[in-house]
Structure 1
Amino acid sequence: MIQQMSFYNMPMAFGTAIDNSTYKSINVANKGALYAFEPDVTFIAQQPKIIRFPPNNAGEYIQGIYGTAKAGTILGNWHFKDLKTVADRAQILLSNYKLSQDDINGMLGDVVSAGDEDHWAGACRWVKNNTHLWRNWIPDSTTCVQGKGLVDSAGLPVENRSQAVDCKVCPVGRASTPMTDGQGPTRFCLQCPEGKSQGLPGEQECVPCLIGSYSAVPGSMACSLCAVGSYGSLTGLSVCSVCGNGTISEKLRSTNKAIMVQGEEEWVAYQGAVSFDACGCRKGTRMDASGECLPCGDGLKCDGSGKVMVLKGFYSAADSPGSVFKCFGDERRCPGGPPGTCAPGRDNETIACISCSSGLSPGDDGACKPCSSGNSAVFSVAIIVSILAIAVLYIFLRNEGQDGKAQNEAFLIASVAIGQCVGVSQQLSIFGQLKVNWGSPFSEVLDFFSLLAFNMEWLTVSCLARFSPLQMYAARVFLVLLFFIVACCIHLLYVALRKKFADGLEISVLVKVMGNLMMIFFISVAGAILAPFRCYTHPNGVRTVQEFGGVLCNSEGEYQKMLIVAGIALIMPVSFFVIASYVTIVELPKRMQKADVAFLKTWSFLYYRYRPGAAVFSVILLLRNVGLVIVPVIPGGAIKVLLIIMILIVSILITSFMLPWRILECNYMEATLLAGVAVLISMGSLFMEDVDVDNVMQVCFVLFIAMTLLIFGVFVWGFAKYLRGKLRKPFQYFLCHQKSGAGAFARLLKCELIRMSGVKGKVFVDCDDLQDLTKLFGYVGNDTEHLIILGTKDILTRKWCMGEVTTGRIHKVKTVVVALPDYEPPSETLVEEYQVHVPDVTELAAHGISLAAVQETLLWMRELPTFELLGTLDSKLTRALCKELVVMHVSPGSMGKNGFQLSNEAEDELDKKTRLVNRKAQYNGSKVAILVDYKNMEAVATALVLQLMVSPLLMSSGGMVPYIMTANEEAMPTVQIIVVICSQGCFGNPDIARVLVSSAARSLAVLPIIAEDGFRFPTKDFYDEVLATAGTTSMLGNPSHLVAVVKQVFQEIGVGFNPQAYSASVQDLEVKAKTIAFRLLGGRLRPMSLEDYHPSSPEELEATSLGLLPPASKSTEANAQKII
């Protein structure tokens, strides 16, 4: 400025101020030249004028000469260079913004004149007052710039300005396209057509799809690669070309390319193929000869390149790689690889490499090895061993149980063990027929045991001669016939050398040997015969015979011939099973009864190793073997396993319940072996091939439902039983008695009670109704309405009897005592010292019955209602007692004392005579009389029971229904047979002696009935006792007559009929009653006679008293021991 003043001779001086306010005030006051900015509000009110110098000379300024004006600062509109991209309307606004210096000064002057120094308020006033200046600055909202397009009020793109309200950036899939209308140029967002795409917003054009890609939808943001199985050879495609378009395998086509994975080529499917050359079949499919793609199928590996490989364990021929066979049995013979590949030495022209080439035999690793001399040696050794085994079996069976030799238990166990070993081995051979992938070493075990199933391949017979499958099958089926021939040769040789044919051909021995061979190899024979029915289905749907893989199951050719052979061979096992069943079930019981020793020896193989009565187990064993052989023929792997396990479980249960083997340990062995076999098959089921999961789940569901129904059924049954017990208990009467004192009377009471019309329920007697001792007290407490105590001398000291009574008291069962003549109520001393008298009463504690409870029961029994039986027991007294028991009304737990006395004694002599007259009228005409000791109540009860059981059997025979003789009564004139109830001391009864002697005088026949286990048969002491007893009686006649008569009684074989025995169930007594009826009707009973023996001297009388018999009678003692 100093230079400028100097250049132009301007008289000026320069001054400064301390601050801005002083600077302003000085200049305003001086009104002279000053330094100021423009535009600025400081001196706007003074309206200063600019001193103008010549225009700026930049060259002089560079030289430091400042004689011209400064360059100054141009006021302009400045904005971000890319503002148009991000805010095009703001850029247009700024471009249109035009203000002159005067406009700016006027705006600043307004602020100064307003005096508020609020520049924003001043700007607002200016905008309101100068709309004509800035209205044209604002751009049109529908004039869109590049990258944008017209949109409506919803923000959606439109192509007409009349519908548009704004411009927005074109989204992906659209392009900003220019257009012109009456309002000028603008742009709209055009949707990309098919075959093009745009992945960026605000772009001005759509991009065509590259080759290998397509865009099928307008407005695509990106093109999609051609899918696997299609290709695109041009740009801008809206759809790709499909590989194999129009063919039936179109969906199996793919586009593949090779890649290297760990050094190996692998074909993978990929997208975006650009030519037809990339088309091929999908991975997992293969191309057939016609060019169609097919599913690869089981056993093949298809990588998609058209190259097919066979997996290990499968086989397909080179000319038909799609027809795949499973190498069942030994998958090692099919190592896999290119179609047509077999293990070394295998003939790849056979199905599934089943055969070895000529001169080779199967090896251990699936390959075939050259035959050697050892192969023929193995076959020869097998023949020799078989012959020796049959010879040993022949000798063993010939000596087994022959000529009355007793069985050697050790040999019997050994023979059963060997038989079980062979049986289990054959059962294991059945496992090899299942579709189970058994692993090593168990597979080798099954291969070995297959020899017992007549699998002769193990003997490498192919090295000896080449046999067709039909010939091998026939050899296996009829091999047992060769065993029969060998057995016949051995038998003939033995008979010729040892017997010299002295006993003929002894065909029975040969039948026995052949029967044993058939029993031993029944599974093998039947299993070999059924081989054609066990077919294996291969992945290609073809079915072949499992054991003969080269034979197709198609009912043609060789297979048809196999079926014919099978039909003929089935005659062997079927006929053997039928004959064995008939002999065991029908003939064996008859022949045993007839003691047909020759027949029993011939067919001993069916029963000899089983306990008596269990011969039918041989038929059950054959049935089990039949089931095991048939199961592998049934389709469905899971069903096979289920059926085999069910057969084994049923067999275990039958063996456990029947215990059929003669030696107990053999039963344990069989049950254990069967359980082991069941475990093996269960474990093997985990490796089955054809498991139908749906069927298995259905079976599991059915079993679950069955178990649930079983549980529910048992619950319902138990609840119904509980309700039935509450409403009506099973046992209306429970007879509590002591066997030796009232066993027969209890049986009599039951027989009479069940005949009463008022008895609807059952009557409990332990030998009939008790199978489990632990349930005894449960029957009393829960299942009994009335408890009848048969009071005898010893009942109070029997712990089980007192346990029954105590249980009845605790459960408040209606109880009554029937006091027999020797019964005494419990005394105070007995109650207090009960444990001293019955030390083992403490054993009842295990059943919840304490000593205190028993003692309380004893006191309670003294207050119970009691029926006292007086006089001699007979049917009338028994029926009177039963009538009272039926009509009695005893409150549960009643302690009231009620005593009743029942007697059958006549009140006066007139009644006795009347009774005798009535008996003569009633029983005159009877041919059978029962003689019993009336002093023994148990013997009388036995006679009454016998009468009740025998009478229905003799009803149709006139006059044979027996009656019971009373005391002091002779047999009726029409009586022909005396049935003597033999009880302890019965022959010491004078009435018995008198009737026997008189009956002998009448030559009546006699049948002794042994009624007690303790009865003594006639001995010297017995006869001495009889003579001594008879000599003290008032019996008329010679006492020696009684001895002779008693001996004649036991010339007949006695029949045991003991109702008081622990095992005397009603079924046993009925059998005995039938025997007695048969004896009575048989007419073979010898009559007694006093004329058979007449002692003529005192010495002979003494000899008679010593029990010495004439020679004709010395067999009496031996016969007396035979009790039926």
Structure 2
Amino acid sequence: EPVATLINLTKLVMFDFHFIRTSCFFGTDNPVLYFVGRLLTCPVACALLLCAWVLQKMLGRHKPFNTVLNQCGVMIFAFFLSITRATLIPFQCVENPNGTSSMMLHPGIICYQSEEHALFAALSVVGVVTQPLAILVLATYVIFTYPSRVAGGKGLRFSTRYRFLLHRFKPSSYYYGLVLLYRNAIIALLPTVLVGVPEVQVPLMGIMLLAVQNLSLQTAPWRTQMANRVDMLLTDLLLVTLLSAGPLLLLDEASSTAVLGWLLCVPILSILLVVLLGFLRLAVKAIRQKREKLYDIFLCHHKAGGGSLSRLMKLVILQHSSARVFLDSDQLQNLDLLFDIIRTSTKNVVVVLTGELLSRSWCAGEIVTAWKNDIHTVPLLCEGFERLSDEAQKQIPSLWTPHQVAQLASYGIQLDDVNLAYSWLQHELTPLQMARFGPVCGREKVVVELMNVCGLSSRRTTSKTAGHVSRPRILILSSYMEAEYLSACEVFQILLQAHLHVECEVVHDFQQIATCKPFAYYLIALLFRGILRDEDFIKLLLYATQTCTSSKRALELVPVVADSNFEVPNVDGYWAL
């Protein structure tokens, strides 16, 4: 005392309704009836929520079914530990002096020998399968399929249905709800499995709480900083409670000393094991770096003509595989590093052949390095690229400054090497064709084909199938007079969709806008230089911002300046527009 009184006050949270005196209602104090009442607490609560939803619907207050589903989900998530503990009560048995064992809650019932306990066990199995196990299976399915649904543009409806499990946490930590469910399931299971060895229960519970708290401190999974702090504080209080309750345990001194003697070997040996594994990992990493290539694909491209396309290709490759992709535009300041990466750390070089790529000295150096070192190279032929004649090919170095020529020469790249490498690239290698315009699924298929040519396997199909009906909440619009503008929109779509977990769509024409508009709330306009002189963009913009006849709402326009060279027109410019 007084902690015993405080613990008794919390029994209601654990679905312990002894204080209600059910015998006064049913005329008997039947343990089975009492246990059935605990099992039915959660289903009855969900049934009441469903009845309230049906009643509101009958009264004309229509709410989506997902509303009642999420209300029930929030309740289950909050009381999952209590639900699991309640279903496992019949298996929590303690030994008697005569060698038998009795239920801890009902000592008069002999475990595994009496018919009454057999009934308890049968009810418990039904309860476990229909409640905690079913919840864990559903939550596991939701979490493991969620990334693929988001990547495929179907994440919004999925996350709306299961927002009780997903929306409490940051998009990057969408899995944390499943971690909490499994943590609570294990904590509920430990007193049942280890009922005879309390000296083991306390350390294992502490380990479980510490493991999840370390993950929480590392990732800060909750959407608000306050929620992260509250989670940390509650876990700290639970750990303090475990430490304080340890001396109060009634233990057999001889057996507990032997058990704890072996148990304490685990953390001590773990310290030595962690140090050993750390050194071993460093050694293995050093050996692998010598034997394996660091990057699976090196994307050689002209920044102005193919920068956005290359970024799109990298994002698509990462969606389909765990391949490591290097973009040379990320480190243009260090030319020596670029050539060294191709020579020593790259398995495949993909040359994105846009209009001006072959006239760039750095790109020439990358191509020559791949040619000299016999690196597997794949030309990606884009719209707008024209093969150079032999004469035009020889004239390429005349476009470079003396400093650029000298810079290439300092790395062992001569002008004759450039001519030979360009001939090898254009005439000896088999190119892949990349369409710059049209739906993004066409470019995605080319990227998958490129991965196959490079020896990389795709772990999933293309993001959108032929029968997929798009219901985006966000529409993305821009000028498509240049292919790079379209690629920038598609990159923006992938990044925005992954960050917000909301379905987005790049719209190209009036028909696509009309199809998607009833489901959309926002229209993002990516602004590039000269976009306001594109009549097609202006027409699409005006059509998209009109009030939708079916949804009776207008899209909220969000302009995004995607080009540092974009200029807001002056008064004369607006009059001209």
TM tier, shorter chain?
A: 0.5 to 0.7
Q: Secondary structure at the match of 2:86?
A: helix
User: Does the aligned pair in 2 maintain the 1:543–1:552 contact within 8 Å?
Assistant: yes
- How far the C-alpha of 1:476 sits from its partner, in A, is 1.6
Q: Secondary structure at the match of 2:412?
A: strand
User: Does the aligned pair in 2 maintain the 1:641–1:681 contact within 8 Å?
Assistant: yes
User: Does the aligned pair in 1 maintain the 2:293–2:345 contact within 8 Å?
Assistant: no
What TM-score results when the alignment is normalised by the length of structure 1?
0.31
Q: 1:1111 to 1:717 in 2, by over 3 A?
A: closer
Which whole-Å CA distance do the structure 2 matches of 1:567 and 1:871 have between them? 68
- How far the C-alpha of 1:551 sits from its partner, in A, is 2.8
Match of 2:51 among 483, 489, 492: 489
Task: Indicate the residue corresponding to 1:904 in structure 2.
Answer: 414
**C-alpha distance after superposition, 1:204-237 (max 9, x if no partner):** xxxxxxxxxxxxxxxxxxxxxxxxxxxxxxxxxx
What code does the residue aligned with 1:1111 have?
E
- How far the C-alpha of 1:921 sits from its partner, in A, is 4.2
Task: Indicate the residue corresponding to 2:162 in structure 1.
Answer: 603
- 2:117 counterpart of 1:559: yes
Which whole-Å CA distance do the structure 2 matches of 1:1116 and 1:745 have between them? 46
Which whole-Å CA distance do the structure 1 matches of 2:84 and 2:235 have between them? 20
Task: Indicate the residue corresponding to 2:314 in structure 1.
Answer: none
**C-alpha distance after superposition, 1:37-92 (max 9, x if no partner):** xxxxxxxxxxxxxxxxxxxxxxxxxxxxxxxxxxxxxxxxxxxxxxxxxxxxxxxx
Task: Indicate the residue corresponding to 1:805 in structure 2.
Answer: none
- 2:146 counterpart of 1:590: no
Which whole-Å CA distance do the structure 2 matches of 1:924 and 1:882 have between them? 19
Task: Indicate the residue corresponding to 1:1112 in structure 2.
Answer: 536
Task: Indicate the residue corresponding to 2:205 in structure 1.
Answer: 644
Q: 1:577 to 1:920 in 2, by over 3 A?
A: closer
User: Does the aligned pair in 2 maintain the 1:584–1:615 contact within 8 Å?
Assistant: yes
Which whole-Å CA distance do the structure 1 matches of 2:427 and 2:278 have between them? 55
Match of 1:749 among 324, 328, 340: 340
Q: 1:951 to 1:1120 in 2, by over 3 A?
A: farther
Q: 1:649 to 1:1108 in 2, by over 3 A?
A: closer
- How far the C-alpha of 1:461 sits from its partner, in A, is 4.0
- How far the C-alpha of 1:456 sits from its partner, in A, is 0.9
Q: Secondary structure at the match of 2:13?
A: helix
User: Does the aligned pair in 1 maintain the 2:15–2:41 contact within 8 Å?
Assistant: yes
Match of 1:446 among 1, 4, 7: 7
Task: Indicate the residue corresponding to 2:243 in structure 1.
Answer: 682
- 2:486 counterpart of 1:1052: yes
- 2:146 counterpart of 1:655: no
Task: Indicate the residue corresponding to 2:392 in structure 1.
Answer: none
Question: Which of 1 and 2 has higher RCO (CA within 8 Å, sep 6+)?
Answer: 2
Q: 1:531 to 1:681 in 2, by over 3 A?
A: same
Task: Indicate the residue corresponding to 1:1060 in structure 2.
Answer: none
More helix by share: 2
What code does the residue aligned with 1:627 have?
I
- The correspondence of residues 941-1090 of structure 1 with structure 2, limited to 5 A, is 952-953=450-451, 955=453, 1047-1050=481-484, 1052-1054=486-488
- How far the C-alpha of 1:509 sits from its partner, in A, is 2.3
Which whole-Å CA distance do the structure 2 matches of 1:657 and 1:520 have between them? 23
Match of 2:106 among 536, 539, 548: 548
- How far the C-alpha of 1:922 sits from its partner, in A, is 3.8
Task: Indicate the residue corresponding to 2:29 in structure 1.
Answer: 467
- 2:261 counterpart of 1:700: yes
- How far the C-alpha of 1:877 sits from its partner, in A, is 4.4
**C-alpha distance after superposition, 1:594-626 (max 9, x if no partner):** 336444322211111111132322222111111
- How far the C-alpha of 1:448 sits from its partner, in A, is 0.6
- The correspondence of residues 423-822 of structure 1 with structure 2, limited to 5 A, is 440-464=1-25, 465-499=27-61, 506-539=64-97, 541=99, 543-570=101-128, 571-586=130-145, 589-590=148-149, 593-595=152-154, 597-633=156-192, 634=194, 635-691=196-252, 693-704=254-265, 707-708=268-269, 710-711=271-272, 714=275, 718=279, 742-743=333-334, 746-754=337-345
Q: 1:904 to 1:1115 in 2, by over 3 A?
A: farther
Which whole-Å CA distance do the structure 1 matches of 2:484 and 2:285 have between them? 52
User: Does the aligned pair in 2 maintain the 1:1052–1:1120 contact within 8 Å?
Assistant: no
**C-alpha distance after superposition, 1:448-472 (max 9, x if no partner):** 1111111111334445554222211
- How far the C-alpha of 1:1108 sits from its partner, in A, is 5.7
Which whole-Å CA distance do the structure 1 matches of 2:423 and 2:139 have between them? 64
- How far the C-alpha of 1:703 sits from its partner, in A, is 3.1
Which whole-Å CA distance do the structure 2 matches of 1:721 and 1:488 have between them? 57
Q: Secondary structure at the match of 2:110?
A: coil
Task: Indicate the residue corresponding to 2:464 in structure 1.
Answer: none
Q: Secondary structure at the match of 2:171?
A: coil
Which whole-Å CA distance do the structure 1 matches of 2:277 and 2:154 have between them? 51
Which whole-Å CA distance do the structure 1 matches of 2:490 and 2:43 have between them? 53
Which whole-Å CA distance do the structure 2 matches of 1:720 and 1:527 have between them? 41
User: Does the aligned pair in 1 maintain the 2:365–2:413 contact within 8 Å?
Assistant: no
- How far the C-alpha of 1:651 sits from its partner, in A, is 1.8
**C-alpha distance after superposition, 1:91-145 (max 9, x if no partner):** xxxxxxxxxxxxxxxxxxxxxxxxxxxxxxxxxxxxxxxxxxxxxxxxxxxxxxx
User: Does the aligned pair in 1 maintain the 2:93–2:102 contact within 8 Å?
Assistant: yes
What code does the residue aligned with 1:509 have?
T
User: Does the aligned pair in 2 maintain the 1:552–1:559 contact within 8 Å?
Assistant: yes
Task: Indicate the residue corresponding to 1:851 in structure 2.
Answer: none
Q: 1:952 to 1:746 in 2, by over 3 A?
A: farther
Which whole-Å CA distance do the structure 2 matches of 1:567 and 1:916 have between them? 71
- How far the C-alpha of 1:753 sits from its partner, in A, is 2.0
- How far the C-alpha of 1:724 sits from its partner, in A, is 11
User: Does the aligned pair in 1 maintain the 2:92–2:191 contact within 8 Å?
Assistant: yes
Which whole-Å CA distance do the structure 1 matches of 2:431 and 2:112 have between them? 83
Task: Indicate the residue corresponding to 1:893 in structure 2.
Answer: none
Q: Secondary structure at the match of 1:742?
A: coil
Alignment coverage as a number of residue pairs: 399
- How far the C-alpha of 1:526 sits from its partner, in A, is 1.8
What code does the residue aligned with 1:507 have?
F
- How far the C-alpha of 1:638 sits from its partner, in A, is 1.0
Q: Secondary structure at the match of 1:665?
A: helix
Which whole-Å CA distance do the structure 1 matches of 2:284 and 2:52 have between them? 71
What code does the residue aligned with 1:953 have?
M
Which whole-Å CA distance do the structure 2 matches of 1:622 and 1:479 have between them? 19
- 2:432 counterpart of 1:874: no
User: Does the aligned pair in 1 maintain the 2:531–2:537 contact within 8 Å?
Assistant: no
- How far the C-alpha of 1:902 sits from its partner, in A, is 3.1
Which whole-Å CA distance do the structure 2 matches of 1:589 and 1:1106 have between them? 37
User: Does the aligned pair in 2 maintain the 1:525–1:573 contact within 8 Å?
Assistant: yes
Which whole-Å CA distance do the structure 2 matches of 1:569 and 1:916 have between them? 71
Long gaps (5+) in structure 1: 1-439, 757-869, 884-898, 931-948, 958-1017, 1020-1045, 1058-1067, 1072-1083, 1085-1104
Which whole-Å CA distance do the structure 2 matches of 1:924 and 1:526 have between them? 61
- How far the C-alpha of 1:442 sits from its partner, in A, is 0.9
- The correspondence of residues 295-374 of structure 1 with structure 2, limited to 5 A, is none
User: Does the aligned pair in 2 maintain the 1:877–1:902 contact within 8 Å?
Assistant: no
The Cα RMSD (Å) is 4.9
What code does the residue aligned with 1:448 have?
L
What TM-score results when the alignment is normalised by the length of structure 2?
0.57
Which whole-Å CA distance do the structure 2 matches of 1:732 and 1:479 have between them? 58
What code does the residue aligned with 1:754 have?
S
User: Does the aligned pair in 2 maintain the 1:515–1:605 contact within 8 Å?
Assistant: yes
User: Does the aligned pair in 2 maintain the 1:1050–1:1116 contact within 8 Å?
Assistant: no
